Structure 1
Amino acid sequence: MTKPEGKFDELNLAKLNLVSAVDATDAAEWNVTVHLGDQEVSIQCQSPIYGVPHGLDGEVMALLLNEYLIQGCPDDGVIVLTASGALVELGWQDKARKKTNGNYYGLLRRSLQRFQSANYSIREGWKERGRWTHAQFHLVETLEFTTQAGSKVFDNRTVIRLKLTERVCESLKSGYVKPLDTAFMRSLARPRTRALYRILDGARYDSAQPDQPLDSFEVNLKDWANQCKVPGMRKDNLKRAFEASHKELVEKGYLRAAQFSGRGEQVTLRYDFVPQGERPLIPLEDDLLELFSRWRVGRAAVQRLRQQHEYVYLRDRARLFGKEYEAGNLGKSVMNPAGLLVDFARNPQKYQALSEVLPPKKPSRMQPLLEVPEPGDQLAEEFASLTHAEAARKAFGRIARPLKKHLSVAELDALSTALNEGALDPLETLKQWYRYASKPEAYAVEVRARLGVPQP
C-alpha cells in the first residue's frame, strides 16, 4: 500500500478499470458488463466533448490519486499541482524536454479535460464500507489552470487546481487501496503495455484479501475485452493488439505466460504471473537498509517493501517515522517499533494527520528556549542536496496545499514562477511559511505583498 514515489491505486478503480486500453480512439462512450467474482457489474462512460479516457490517461489517473494522498487527503477533495511537476511524477519530463512543441503538456491537459468531461455510471459495482453500491460521478469535478494570455496550452509555468469526486476521496481515506509499482510501470516501453499492466495488476487483487494477489487467472476473451474497455473489438484484432504487450511483460518478469485457448465464443485467455518472491530482486540501497535497521526491521522485510515501493518513498517514510517516533507523536509506548515502521510505510493513509515537516513545539517553562530546534535547521539539511528546480518544486508543493483556499490559481502561478526563477528563495520562503503556519490567511497577504500582487 503506497503513495508516490511508492504508489497507490484505489481498489474500485483498479478492479473496474475506467480507462480504455487503446492508444487512440474517437469513441465518445462505451457500455459494458464485467464480473467481479460472482458480482455482475454494469458500467457506462459518456464523454461527448473530449472522448472517453484512454491510453496514457490511466497514468494521469494514478498521479491524481497519489497527489490526493500526498496532500493529506483534504476533506474538500481539492489538490494543487504544477504541470511541470506532474510531468516529473509521470516520468514524462525528459520526453517533454525533447518535444519543443509541448506535446506532453498537451497530453496532460487533454487527459484532465477528459476526466472532467467523462460521466461514469456504475451499477452494483462500487464497493463502499463492505457493500456493493451504485455510483455516478466525474472523476474530476472542477478544473482550473493557468496559461499564457490568449493561450489554452499548458507550459512550464502552468498551475493546476482541481477537485476529485467525493466517491474516490472517501474510498482513499478509508484505505481501500492496493500497491502500484510505478517504477516498474514506467520501465515499460509501450503505453499500451503500461495500460495493460495496470489492468492486470488490478484484476489479480481480491478486494477481500488485497495483500494476497493471485498467481494466475483465466478469463473469457469477450469478457476481457469489456474489462479493457474495448467492447466490440474482434478477437483476432484483440489478440494482435496485446501480443507485443504480453511479450514485454514476460520479458520484464511480470508474467510467466499469457495463453489463448478454445474457439469461437469460448476463446479464453489465461495469465500466469511470476510470484512476487520469484521476481528479480531490486538491489537494496545501503542508506535505506540502515534507516530501517535502526528500528530493528530485518533485511527480508526491507526487501519486501523495496519490491513494492520506490527508494525515495521508503527513504522519506523512514525519516518521517524517526522524527514522529522521537517526538512522541506515534503513541506513548510502542512495544514493536519495527512492526510500526513497516505499517507506516505500507499504509501511509493511516497516519495522514502527520505532516511532512512539523513546526517545532513550543518549549515548556522548564525547557530552555535554546534547546528547541528551529524548523530551518532540518529544512536546510533536507534542501542541501536538491537542485534549484527540485527545491522550488518541493517548497511550492508544501506552501500551495494550505494556501489553496486563500490564493487564486493565478496567484499560485505567480508564486511558482517566483520560486522557479529565483525571485523568491525556496528555502527562505518555506521557513517564513512555518512562522505563519497557524495563520494561512495572514501568510497569503504576505505572499501577495512579496509578489507585488494586489490584495483582494
Structure 2
Amino acid sequence: MDTTPKPKAPRPEESRAGLAWSERNLDGMPLFLPNPRTDKRRRICVEDLIEGEGGMEVRSTWTVIGHGTLGLPGSFDEKVYVASLALLEKQGGPDEDGRLWFKPYELFKAMGTKTTGGDNYGRLAESIERVAGAHIVSERAFYSARLGRRFSRRGFGLWKYKLSNHLGRRGSNLEESYIRFDDVFLENYEHGYMDRLDTAFYMALSRPLSRRLYRLLNVKCDARGAWGVDAMLLKGLVPLSEGYASASEVKKALADAHRELEGMGFLRGAEFVGTGRGEASVEYVLAPNFGRRRLLDVVVSDGEGREAVELLHSFHLDREEAAALVAEHGASTCISHAEALAHQKNVRNPAGWLKKSLVEKWSLSSSPESVEVPGKAAGSSPGGSSGSTEGNGGGIPPTAGGDGAARYDACSTPDPEAQGIWKLVMDDAAGRIDAPSWKAWFEGTVPVSLDGEVLTISVPNSFAKEYITGRFKDHLEEALGARLSRCATLRIVVAGASVGSARARTEAEAARATDPEEVWRGLVASLLKERGTKVEPSWFDPYHGHSLGDGRLVVSAPDEDAASGIIERFGRDFDRLWKRRAGADGRIVVGLRGAVGDGGDR
C-alpha cells in the first residue's frame, strides 16, 4: 500500500495563483502513458476525421514513437513536463533562445517531490532524456497558430536539453541546466495558442489518469465548460492501453479518475451515452467554478479578448465576470464601453455602469465622451431620476446633446507648453503601462498647465484620478523628474475647471509651500491617504512644522517620547514622502518644541 501522504487539494481561489501557459496541441493529444509499468508499447497512434479545405473530411494522424532504449514517456515524465511549465511561467516565458533555465531542485519543488538523494536526480535526468527522445509524427494533426491550420511534420520532439554535472553533498545540482523547447512549441507560445493550466491543482491529483484527464478536459471543454467525445477516440487521447476494446471497458477504466475529479470540485459529471451496441459517446460537464475559469481561459486566449478582460477588470470587475460580458457582447463592444466610461464624470459605481451600459445596449457616438442612453431624455441620468448621482449604474449628471439625447461630456483646454512635456513623459513611461490601461486611462487626459516644476493634467472623472494616482503616478513623476528636475511633481485634477483656475490653484499651493506648517500637514495628509483608516489623524496633532530651507524640514514635537514615537512609527514613511518632493538630499528633522534650531534637533 502506498503510504505517501497526499497533498491537500488547493481550493480554486488558492490554486488560481499556480496558473501556467500550456501548449494546446500537447494537452489535447497523447504523449505520456498513464501506466507505463503495465503498458509496454513503443508507440502511440491516434486517428481522427477533421474538416479540411472546402469542408471535406480528411484523416489526421498523431503518432508518438518512444525513445530507442527508454521507451515512451510516462506519468512521472508528465509531471516533469508540467513542472517545467510552472518554472517557465516563473521565468516569464522562454528566453531569447527558447530556453528554460532551472536547477533540478526547482523542478522537484514544483512537483512537490523530495529532492534528497542522488537517485532522484538520476531519475529526473532519465525523464528529461526520455521526453527529449520521443519523436512526434503529425499528419494534419498539429495546429500551427502561425500558419493558421493543421500541418504535417515528421520526427520532431518536445525539447533538447543540457544538464549540469556539478553536484552537491547530497546529490543536489548546484549549477543551472536548461531545456530548449522545439520551434513548433515556441511559435505557438509566441502566437498565443496556449491555455492556462492550473499546475497546483494538477499536482494535487493523486491518480495519473486524473492528471491526464484534467489536462485533456482543460483544453477540450468549450466556453460553457462542456465537451462531447466518441468513447473510443477518448481511449486513444488518454491514452488507455489497447486492451480496452469497448466503451463499457473505457468507462470502467476511467471511473476512479472521474470520481477523484468530481471530489476535487473540477468535474460536475461524465455521462456515457450508448454504451451498449453501436457507437458510444462521453459527455463531460465541468463544475461551475472551473466552468467560469474555462470561460475566462477561452476568452483570454484571443488577443482582443484578453485586452477587453483586463480593461474591464481595471474598473473593479472580477475577471471571470468580465469574461462572461466579453463572451456575450464581444470584445470590441466591451472595449468601446470601457473607453467611454473612462471619460465620464461623477461615476460612483464604475463596474455597475459598465454592466448596465452593456446589458441595456447604450449607444456610443463617434466620440468616447458621449453616450446615448435609450429612453432617457436630456437632463436625466442613467442611474435614476433627473440630477441623481446614484443608481444601479452609478448615475452621471449629463449635458444635453443637440438631438435631445442624454450626453456626458468632459473637456479641458490644453496648454501648449504642458502638452510638450506631457508627451515626453508619456513616451518615457510607455514601457511601464500596458496597452489596455493606456487606452482606458490616458487617452482622455489633457495637460492644462506647467508652472515651474508642477505639471497639471486634467482627467475626465474622479475615478480616473484615483486610478492613475494609485497605479501610475510614481512612474509618471519619475519620468517627469528626469525631464524637469527631481523636485518636479504631477498634479491631477478632474476636468471641469478652466486652465486659468487650475493655474491659480497651483500658484496658491506653490506660495503656501514656503510655510513649514502647510508643508508638514501636506505630508501628513499624504501618509493618511496611503495608510487609509489604519492611522488616526489626531495622532499627529501635537506635531508642527517649524522651519523649512535647503531641502530640510524641521518638525517640532512636545517631548522626548513624542519625538521618539514618530521617528520609530513613521520615520521611513515621512522620509520617503519628503524625498519625493524635495529630492534625494531632502531631510526631515524632528526636534523638541522650544529647542529646535538651538541644538535640540534629532
- For 2:20 and 2:179, locate their aligned partners in 1 and report how far apart those are by CA, in whole Å: 20
Please give the per-residue CA displacement for 1:247-306, whole angstroms capped at 9, x wherever unaligned.
1111122222223332356343332322447789xxxxxxxxxxx99943224658979x
Residue in structure 2 matched with residue 56 of structure 1 by the alignment:
76
Residue in structure 2 matched with residue 201 of structure 1 by the alignment:
218
Residue in structure 1 matched with residue 264 of structure 2 by the alignment:
252
Please give the per-residue CA displacement for 1:151-188, whole angstroms capped at 9, x wherever unaligned.
9x963535321211001101100111112122322222
- CA 1:78/1:269 → structure 2, altered by over 3 Å: closer, same or farther? same
SS of match in other structure, 2:186: helix
SS of match in other structure, 2:46: strand
Corresponding position: 1:147 with 2:265: no
Larger radius of gyration: 2
The amino acid that maps onto 1:60 is: V
- CA 1:202/1:56 → structure 2, altered by over 3 Å: closer, same or farther? farther
The amino acid that maps onto 1:53 is: P
Contact 1:116 1:141 in 2 (8 A): yes
Residue in structure 2 matched with residue 118 of structure 1 by the alignment:
134
CA drift at 1:109: 2.2
Contact 2:140 2:151 in 1 (8 A): yes
Bigger shift: 64-73 or 247-256?
A: 64-73
Please give the per-residue CA displacement for 1:75-105, whole angstroms capped at 9, x wherever unaligned.
4212211111112223x2xx315xx545554
CA drift at 1:66: 5.0
Match of 1:78 among 64, 77, 99: 99
Contact 2:226 2:286 in 1 (8 A): yes
- For 2:322 and 2:50, locate their aligned partners in 1 and report how far apart those are by CA, in whole Å: 32
Residue in structure 1 matched with residue 47 of structure 2 by the alignment:
33
Contact 1:255 1:272 in 2 (8 A): yes
Superposed, 1:66-215 pairs within 5 Å as 66-68=86-88, 70-90=91-111, 92=112, 95-96=113-114, 100-101=116-117, 104-128=120-144, 129-147=147-165, 155-157=172-174, 159-205=176-222, 212-215=223-226
- For 2:18 and 2:141, locate their aligned partners in 1 and report how far apart those are by CA, in whole Å: 29
SS of match in other structure, 1:243: helix
Contact 1:3 1:66 in 2 (8 A): no
Residue in structure 2 matched with residue 418 of structure 1 by the alignment:
none
SS of match in other structure, 1:18: coil
Bigger shift: 328-337 or 154-163?
A: 328-337
Query: Structure 2: 5+ residue runs without aligned partners?
Result: 1-14, 52-56, 294-310, 325-427, 443-477, 490-602
CA drift at 1:67: 4.0
Residue in structure 2 matched with residue 381 of structure 1 by the alignment:
none
Contact 1:116 1:138 in 2 (8 A): no
CA drift at 1:30: 2.2
The amino acid that maps onto 1:108 is: L
Aligned residue pairs total 309
- CA 1:366/1:8 → structure 2, altered by over 3 Å: closer, same or farther? same
CA RMSD of aligned residues (A): 4.2
TM-score, normalised relative to structure 1: 0.57
Corresponding position: 1:367 with 2:485: yes
- CA 1:39/1:193 → structure 2, altered by over 3 Å: closer, same or farther? farther
Residue in structure 1 matched with residue 230 of structure 2 by the alignment:
219
Contact 1:30 1:231 in 2 (8 A): no
TM-score, normalised relative to structure 2: 0.44
Residue in structure 1 matched with residue 385 of structure 2 by the alignment:
none
SS of match in other structure, 2:315: coil
Match of 1:234 among 239, 244, 254: 244
